[in-house]
A and B are shown apart, each in its own frame.
Chain A
Amino acid sequence: MDFNQSADENLFDHARIIGKPHTRVDGALKVTGTAPYAYERHNVAENPLVGYPLGSSIAKGRITRMDATAARSAEGVAAVITALDIDELPRADSNVAKLFGGEWVEHYHQAIAVVIADTLEQARAATRLIEVEYEEIPGEFDLDDAWKRLQDRDVVSHVGDVDAAFDSAEFTLDETYHTASHSHAMMEPHATIADWCDGKNMTLWTSNQMIEWTRQALATTFELDADNIRLESPYIGGGFGGKLWLRADAVLAALGSRETGRPVKVALPRPFIFNNATHRSGTVQRLRIAANKDGRITAFDHSAISHTLPGGSGEDAVNQTRCFYAGENRRVAHHAIDMNLPESADMRAPGEATGLAVLEIAMDEMAEKLGMDPVEFRILNDTQVNPEEPSKRYSDRHFVECLQKGAETFGWAARNTTPGGKREGQWLIGQGMAGAYRGSPTLDSGARVRLSEGRLIVETDMTDIGTGSYTIIAQTAAETMGLEMRDVDVRLGNSAYPSASGSGGQMGAASSTAGVYAACVALQGEITKRLGVESARFENGQVVSGDKSVALRDVAQGEELVGEDSLHFGDFKDELEIGTFGAHFVEVAVNAYTGETRLRRMLSVCDAGRILNPITARSQVLGGMTMSIGAALTESLNVDTARGFFPNHDLAGYEIAVHADIPDMEVIFLDTQDGASTPLKAKGVGELGICGGAAAVANAMYNATGIRLRDYPLTLDRMLDRLPGA
């Protein structure tokens, strides 16, 4: 099905099921522990061996010697494969870090060996018996050093005359900010069971957000025909972008299986999540804003750097500054610096999460300089077109309504406007807000639907990373076919199924439901053909055409009818800016003596097109907000700049928000639809919640204390000296 123009009024505008609060269809499996996650799929492969990886203990250099003799003869060990045993594996385009093989080490905890044994304990113990010698090469690990050295910033885009605008501006801001590197730190580590026993046909039961990308990456890495590779990833215990790629778990399990002729399973040990897998790069950002005294912004100048391994693209923190607010003159520059830290790559809202963490503090600072309310300042600088390219209008943008609705619901008007001016006992109380923006791209998506005896099976390689894909896909199919939720079974995450967007870049919900819709329409075509009618309505489990009505259960007379199609998104979308918008409001308490910061409440108002399911969408936004609180207050992969790694590589040292950090949270969805996005008029919402949230916390802390912090995480040591105490 081609989607070549904005959707008109259609069945989803009169929906029975779409847009309604349905609890997760996979909820019971999850709470009973019976959803099959990769590492515990005990029934798929006969008697698997267990692999355990060994990571490099240096950040950069060459392995000069490896001796695995002792490991090979250890109890229970079936095989040891060292990096020196095989050539460097070819790298797929989607991989930046090398995953295995060869003498060169690019980062700490690069996998340099895997031990395959009968049990996890045996494999783990044997890794410690492998002797490794290195020739170390000094590496570069300090982003601040790189920032200081950097003269020419790579200008990504420059519109108007920024320098002139700053020269003539009545008010200007020029500040430098830092954001920390972040780990996805999902609950389920990367894990795979591989069966490549014959060295020919490979089956992986794994935990991966992008089935087709990963199948192709495996084909490249192992020089196989993709048709000989099968991937299953039906349940994923969190990804946040960390599982977009082929990673070492799958590679080592596959190598182990080929070597031993037995299925092999490998889960990355927790420290590997931080130093072997990918992470979000920290940034240094300089942001300048110019405005006239009426509060209108005349120029933005935003430059940022992040780190990457050679060939990667780092964390592009400047992108949203190109289009979020009005202003005629704008320049953004981003430099991804080659450094010898582990691979930086996408994490939930790559770019915007860190860019808005900074831009939205700067907006708060600028509003204060202008003597304006920060909500009013943003409303004044709203735009309905892309300011870089004014011919490109926003398809559907209700940012101003988000701000207004949020301010009203939160009670913004009643807040104390004097920073440091409100105290309750030992606690300083502050309120702050920030805007949120995240693009809403779509990717062509396919699905297959099979109707048999009135039951519908939906098959697509779309994944559910805890987001609710199973549920919204069932809703889409039931809605389109005139069935009930209970009539639909959804099967996901299998390379045998038609390829969909996968889960990433908040594309999944909008794209994959559109693909399922297309497949259902194809099935409807099969059915009308079978019934010999021109057209029909599908309602109440019946096919209705004129005065003829047949139960769906009966149309195929015991046979199975199949519809398969993809939704192709047309070029018309390129002429539009399609995005999602939001506003966060936060109240914090900061201890006047110790600087401990505790959230009291948080509200987010979202404009994200049609909300397919308010329950699962709300959970997504809450999760994003929670992650933004972590990013604001505690999360940091600390860099050991002597040795080039993240030493706080466990869940004790890398502090994600825990329940006690999360107060009253409220999410409001505006009732909007964006026909330019998909036939369902839906957009992404999975990443919007994390965008800007950190800045709302920062701004609330400023309001509480009068101390402006520009370096994340906003920990107490950064302000202790300046707090009032008594």
Chain B
Amino acid sequence: MKAFSYERIDDAAQAAARAFEVPGSKFIAGGTNLLDLMKHEIEVPAHLIDINGTGLDDIVATDEGGLRIGALVSNTALGADERIKRDYPVLSRALFAGASSQLRNKASTGGNLLQRTRCPYFYDPAMPCNKREPGAGCAALDDGADTRQLGVIGTSDHCIATHPSDMAVALRVLDAEVETVSPEGQTRRLTLDEFYALPGDTPEVENALEPGEIITGVVLPAPVGGRQRYYKVRDRASYAFALVSVALIETDDGKGRVALGGVAPKPWRREDADAELGNGAEAVMAKLLDGARPTEENAYKLTLAERTLAALLAKE
């Protein structure tokens, strides 16, 4: 871990301004991802701005009938919130499918969105990784690499890593928006699709945040109802990232929405695939996974995604 300076700022806009002003700044919320990465010197912030005092830790109703979740609401509090459990159960289920209870107690909503990939080569500083060190090359793309957990779609010739969050997959299927404040104090909202970037030839750029910009919250639109499910498939029964996960909302009119985790650099959803839900899992995946480029080792994820959706759609 490199030496760094540290301060607490209790106002989001001021924190953003300060982050813009001090080179090498990073926000720290729960620290459950950032500190691990700092120990490996994968993240080397010169200055940490602790935002735990910003008061962004409540969940309030919006005028549109939805909810606004503060960026510092913990994963535990969010998953256990009565309104979330009742009106957005897919989100509650996704949260409780993630990490462990200790981690969820510390993990924040904003930090969860920004957690970094679990690609094993990203985590090993001795390995070439374009995401960690732009232009260094990608160890995961070499013949013989361990790619079983890595991405099958939305990837590029520079990076095939996935985004590991469960929460974000549920937020994507719920059409949530990320709310931010810029160093100049300007607020904006981005859909999850707009928020996350695909790797292309700049895998180090993972989202649309501008320098200093801080996440203040996540806004959920009015409840959509329907049958909401989150199915996370992993090798062991708990405490593992998804091989594939499926967030599903089926509404009474036979329509619905589906998003995938564990397959792409961001929660994966296509509205034209949603439209196929009435035609079964195969039809949905034909659209949703169109253009997939799996490795030999992770091609099973295509089958698994389809079968997991089929399991959710099956009436048994």
Contacts and interface: CB of A to CB of B under 8 A. Distances in A.
13 contacts: A57-B127, A125-B41, A141-B144, A426-B311, A595-B307, A633-B236, A642-B143, A648-B146, A660-B238, A716-B233, A716-B300, A720-B303, A720-B304
Chain B CB count within 10 A is highest, among A55, A647, A660, for A647
Interface stretch (A471-479, A503-511, A602-610, A651-659): A651-659
B83 interface: no
Interface string A637-653: 01111110001111011
B239 A658 contact: yes
Contacts of B144: 141-142, 640-643
A717 interface: yes
A640 B240 CA distance: 21
B80 interface: no
Contacts of B143: 641-642
A75 B303 contact: no
A528 interface: no
Contacts of A594: 233, 304, 307-308, 311
A652 B118 contact: yes
A591 interface: yes
A658 B237 contact: yes
Contact of B236 (A141, A638, A658): A658
A271 interface: yes
Interface of B: 1-3, 39, 41, 118, 120-121, 123-127, 139, 142-146, 148-149, 233-241, 243, 300, 303-304, 307-308, 310-311, 314, 316
Chain A interface mostly: loop
A595 B306 CA distance: 13
Contacts of A128: 41, 125
A725 B310 contact: yes
B238 A659 contact: yes
A425 interface: yes
Contacts of B238: 658-661
Residue of B39, B123, B238, B307 with most chain A CB atoms under a 10 A cut-off:
B307
Given A75-B3, A638-B148, A648-B120, 17 more contacts: A57-B126, A426-B311, A593-B307, A595-B304, A641-B143, A642-B142, A642-B144, A643-B127, A647-B127, A647-B145, A650-B123, A653-B120, A655-B235, A715-B235, A717-B300, A720-B300, A720-B304
A73 B274 CA distance: 60
A596 interface: yes
A453 B261 CA distance: 68
Contacts of B311: 426, 591, 593-594, 725
Interface in A655-679: 655, 657-661
A634 B120 contact: no
A721 interface: yes
Contacts of A639: 146
A652 B240 contact: yes
A121 interface: yes
Contact of A660 (B120, B236, B303): B236
B241 A593 contact: no
A640 B142 CA distance: 9
Contacts of A641: 143-144
Nearest to A629: B236
Contacts of B308: 593-594
A119 to B, nearest CB: 10
Contacts of A725: 307, 310-311
Contacts of B3: 75, 125
A75 B314 CA distance: 62
Contacts of A713: 235
A425 B316 contact: yes
A716 B304 contact: yes
A676 to B, nearest CB: 41
Contacts of A642: 139, 142-145
Contacts of B39: 124
B303 to A, nearest CB: 5
A726 interface: yes
Contacts of B123: 650, 653
A659 B238 CA distance: 8
A598 interface: yes
Contacts of A121: 1
A655 B236 contact: yes
A716 B235 contact: yes
B26 to A, nearest CB: 17
Interface of A: 55, 57, 75, 121, 124-125, 128, 141-142, 271, 425-426, 591, 593-596, 598, 633-634, 638-643, 647-650, 652-653, 655, 657-661, 713, 715-717, 720-721, 723, 725-726
A552 B32 CA distance: 58
Given A125-B2, A658-B236, A720-B307, A638 B118 contact: no
A716 B233 CA distance: 10
Contacts of B235: 633-634, 655, 713, 715-716
B237 A598 contact: yes
Contacts of B148: 638, 717
B164 to A, nearest CB: 10
B237 A660 contact: yes
A685 to B, nearest CB: 26
A647 B126 CA distance: 11
A649 B316 CA distance: 39
A640 B126 CA distance: 14
Contacts of B118: 652-653
Contacts of A659: 238
A646 to B, nearest CB: 8
A649 B125 CA distance: 12
A650 B146 CA distance: 14
Contacts of A57: 126-127
Nearest to B123: A650
A124 B121 CA distance: 20
A715 B149 CA distance: 12
Contacts of A661: 236-238
Contacts of A598: 237
B18 to A, nearest CB: 24
Nearest to B39: A124
A647 B146 contact: yes
Contacts of B1: 121, 124-125
A634 B237 CA distance: 10
A669 to B, nearest CB: 28
B137 to A, nearest CB: 12
A542 to B, nearest CB: 53
A643 B142 contact: yes
Contacts of A648: 120, 146
A713 B126 CA distance: 27
From A425, A640, A657, name the one whose CB has the most chain B CB atoms within 10 angstroms: A640
B233 A596 contact: yes
Contacts of A717: 148, 300, 304
Nearest to B239: A658
Contacts of B149: 653
B179 to A, nearest CB: 30
B310 A593 contact: yes
Contacts of B310: 593, 725-726
B230 to A, nearest CB: 14
A659 B236 CA distance: 10
A591 B316 CA distance: 12
B314 A647 contact: no
A690 B234 CA distance: 23
A649 B124 contact: yes
Nearest to A726: B314
B76 to A, nearest CB: 18
A658 B239 CA distance: 8
A121 B124 CA distance: 18
A647 B236 contact: no
Nearest to B120: A647
Contacts of B240: 652, 655
B239 to A, nearest CB: 5
A6 B35 CA distance: 59
A284 to B, nearest CB: 17
Contacts of B2: 125
Contacts of B233: 594, 596, 716
